Structure 1
Amino acid sequence: MTAGLLLGACLLSNASHSNAAVAVTGEVSNPVSVAYTPGMRLLDVISKAEPYPNDYWLAAVWMHLPLLEQQTRLKVGVLFDLKLLQRGALLNNNAALATLAESLHGYVSRLPVTGRKIADLDPVKLEVSFAHNYLLSDGDHVIYPPRVDRVTVVGAVPKICSVPYQAMQEARDYLDHCPRLREADADFLWLIYPDGTYKQVPIAAWNRKDGVYAVAGSTILVPVRNNIPDLPTPDLNEQLAQFLATQLLAEVAP
């Protein structure tokens, strides 16, 4: 078995573990772990937990077991592409890019596969919108985090930065506090919101889009300049942003 397949097998094995219940924890009045029954929906357990009304529901996370395998494969693919990028950089005598690829590989390796499913976990909205009151699976876990007044910058930067959140500040302006490496793509960044959504943001003089703001708890991915000829990793930055969007806020542990 190759190293990539072995890693995938190990991650899938870990991902298949079930907690045999549905849990709601974090900033709630009554953390609960409820025995799963078929047909159970989000509001059935969230209403028992009673999330605090003034906390940061935007960043709440639903870890949905059926998504673990898909996200495991996404992580393995990102790690594989980072290894390809590192080897391609070495073959092209670009030591700085090879070092960045190796550093990002280590960073991604340490991130968990969460199974996060994008959903509005505002209990009030769930009460009035049956269409968003999704069915649960055995072993699912919902976490309501405390509010975080920081924005995190990762990717093609010397080190991960945690920058104070400023209301109505353009996403690109957070890079003033976390300078990019020469190996960064200077034309775009990826903005990852705490609700698990993400988008590419043009930031260069020729393509700049104004009015794109980070919110508290956002992550900004500074993409890698991925322009080595014949290297089959054109989607690396987008897939890395997609995987980062599955993560919980750094202050939250499942």
Structure 2
Amino acid sequence: MAHPVIVRGKRQFWDQEDKGKKLPIIKTDPAYIAAAEQVNRINAYMAPQQITGCKHDGFIRIFNHGDQDGFAYNMGGRLYSKASGVSYQNMEKHHRHDMRINGEPVVELDIRASFLTILYAQRGIAPDPSIDPYTFGLIPRAVIKAWIAMTLGYDRFHSNWSDETVEKLGGEGIDLRKEYPIDIVRAAVIDEHPILHGWPNSTVRWQNLQYLESSAIIDAVEVLGLRHGITALPLHDALLVQRSNIDTASEILADTFREHIGVVPVFKIKDRWPEKRK
């Protein structure tokens, strides 16, 4: 691929439309060369694989905050699927019923509470498989997960629920603004996870967490493909793999996560896709 890596600047607005300004790249930078070569190796392996039931025309890796001090291809950095249409990463979940890798149905290997796990790992705390970090008290799991996701994608505590989150949970029968005021949810989550108390003043931000996560994911994709002949499609904090390969994929992703983050995450395996919302 001619342009396997893209660098974007810091977002100016906190919404999904603002991706950050695309920045020029110095292609002699060793960090750029290493990132681009890895993406090209992955794309070369993927090219002859039969991926059906979705759109996928190769990967690009997008780094963020390229105009900020300290940028060294170490912020953001997820793999994004290029597609002539809606890619497998952006398709509605119920359509994954139809996805096949080399003729076999896919399952999703999901990292539970990925960003939160990385935050705890930086304090030397490994996740407890018996404890769901999103389940405690009387607040629904989906509400707690939504607050943590909103917070770790921002640089301070939100004063209101986002319209997108309200709409999403409204589809699950939850009236966020009426039933779960954000200040009450914030207090409950911080009481359970004191590590989040100082988030507004933290030197760690979403782009740092995402870089660590993406490095583990991308290395796993490369190792699975080039060393084991197993096709794994990255889904940000998860992998889509053939059902018959789930054990090997779990083992390799555990290894790469440990290498980059220092702990083994808790995995969830999803093979029952939701029905289309009516």
- Where on the TM-score scale, by shorter chain, does this alignment land: which range? 0.3 to 0.5
Task: Give the TM-score normalised by structure 2.
Answer: 0.31
Report the structure, 1 or 2, having the larger helix content: 2
